[in-house]
Amino acid sequence: MLNDSFGRTHSYLRIAVTDRCNLRCRYCMPDEGIDFKPHHGILSFEEIHRLVSVFATLGIRKIRLTGGEPTVRKDLSYLVSMLSALPGIEEVTMTSNGILLAETLDELHRAGLSRVNISLDTLRPERFRAITRRDGIAKVLAAIDQALSLNMHPVKLNVVVMRGVNDDELLDFADFAIRKRVTVRFIEFMPFAGNRWQSEYFISSDEIRERLSRTYALRPLGEETSSSAREWEISGQETRIGFISPVSNHFCASCNRLRLTVDGALRTCLLSNAEISLRDLLRGGASDEELTRSILASLNEKPETHPGINGLLEHENRTMITIGG
């Protein structure tokens, strides 16, 4: 039922469960920090549950919890258990910076979390501190081991690549992927409010792949492996490397995702500002039918594609943290 005017069917909902974070990644969090939403402005677990139940009747099958850092939200495993028990929901997954995961992943997994993507932009402790403005790389590495020991395969690592910052670690990450049996996904640096995007930091997926292929033979896998990452296999290693290219080569034609922001707005596109507040409708007493009508009306307005880089730099987007990356 969640079809838009360009024939795309939506089965995947990403939910920002908090705008708080225990790291301060320079490419994500503005220097001055962000004004956190007051507690009452954020969706409660019961509200998220109600909205997801409506989305599930419309065809959403996969949920990803994100933020901010989802693991800093209290009692997250309770939310995971509520959502994974909903009829129609086949998979509840999460994107996390890994800092708190080694301690909490077991409980989250038992509550129904099936997979986790962990963000790690460097394998070097000093650099980790420089990028995230915090310590903690050992905790993230322990979280990766914990996910592997719980057999939450495939464990995926998200690496935002920035020229002059961490692009000298491409081969280290490929070695790490082979050694640990994880999928590493290199993400192009995107502009968001206050993250000081500059073209000299930007490095395209094509360039990253070309640099890797000087050392490794890469074999393309079918695009159906994921709608956002194009995955390649390191020949002879059964290891996958993914490329997420929102800037150089957008994947809008196969986009199957919707987003629920931390304050309960439905966004049909990460990089377009159009949104409607499902929270306000919910709190105003809307029935499931009324929520459905608003969701479908919003989907009908989903743009065919997001603006190119110049358009993105011109319009003021929310921070990634409040949208939910």
How many beta carbons lie within 10 A of that of residue 179, not counting itself? 9
Cα–Cα distances (Å) from 51 to 44, 122, 286, in that order, read 11, 37, 11
One character per residue 104-143, x = contact with ligand SF4 (rule: CB under 6 A)? ---------------x------------------------
Rounded to the nearest 10 degrees, how much is the dihedral formed by the CA atoms of 67, 73, 77, 78? -110
Any contact of residue 21 with ligand SF4 (CB under 6 A)?
Answer: yes
Closest CB to ligand SAM among residues 54, 141: 141
Cα–Cα distances (Å) from 189 to 31, 36, 75, 95, 134, in that order, read 17, 24, 32, 17, 20
How many beta carbons lie within 10 A of that of residue 147, not counting itself? 26
Q: Are 63 and 93 in contact (CB under 8 A)?
A: yes
Any contact of residue 188 with ligand SF4 (CB under 6 A)?
Answer: no
Closest CB to ligand SF4 among residues 160, 203: 160
Task: Walk across the sheet containing 218-220 and list its strands.
Answer: 218-220, 229-234, 239-244, 183-188, 156-161, 113-119, 91-96, 62-67, 12-18, 257-260, 265-267, 275-277
Closest CB to ligand SF4 among residues 25, 190: 25
Closest CB to ligand SAM among residues 73, 295: 73
Query: Considering only 40-48, 65-73, 203-211, 235-243, which stretch makes contact with ligand SF4 by CB under 6 A?
Result: 65-73
Interaction site with ligand SAM (CB under 6 A): 21, 27-28, 66-67, 69, 95-97, 119, 158, 160, 187, 189-190, 192, 195, 320-321, 325
Q: How far is the CB of 93 from ligand SF4 (least distance, A)?
A: 15
Any contact of residue 24 with ligand SF4 (CB under 6 A)?
Answer: yes
From candidates 15, 17, 28, 108, binder to ligand SF4 by CB under 6 A: 28
Q: Are 322 and 262 in contact (CB under 8 A)?
A: yes
Any contact of residue 29 with ligand SF4 (CB under 6 A)?
Answer: yes
State the residues that interact with ligand SF4 by CB under 6 A: 21, 23-25, 28-29, 67-69, 97, 119, 321
